Structure 1
Amino acid sequence: MDTTTQPSDAFHKGKTDGIFLPEERDELGLTTQMREDIDRRLAIAQEEIRNGQYVTLDDEFMEKFLEEARGRNADILKAIRPVQSIK
């Protein structure tokens, strides 16, 4: 048997070191490991919501966040502007 007709051990053993068979994927192309990771992250997020540990990322939040960021970085921005005008 030459190498083109020999069965690959990785495919006959099933799931190995990051190699997944096509039948191990769902309709979205997610592997079992990917789906488990998504489920774990969703469970963490749901628990945070139940505990009130979340922030609504609306326009008001973003404006406040940007204002605070500009305030924190005002000195840095002032130092950069003269250098940029030289170029």
Structure 2
Amino acid sequence: MRGRLIISRFSHLTGLSPKTLRYYDEIHLLSPAAVDDLTSYRYYSVSQIEVAVRIRRWRELGLPLDDIRDLIDHPSHAREVWARHE
């Protein structure tokens, strides 16, 4: 699995705990790139690091998860999201 990271490594690189990553998967905010059918291990893509770090930083700023989802799904809504947050 070239370019894939197990949850513990991805957690270390992004600053998000494995528990938080599992929760974000559960609420469909940040799902792993692949899940092994046999072991249920979650594998994240190197390309997901940037999004995960953004999510962590936005949470540190106090942004609610629904607003973060809006920023990810609709970047054009950024101005409204940040205006609400102010």
Check whether TM > 0.5. no
Superposition TM-score, scaled by structure 2 size: 0.20
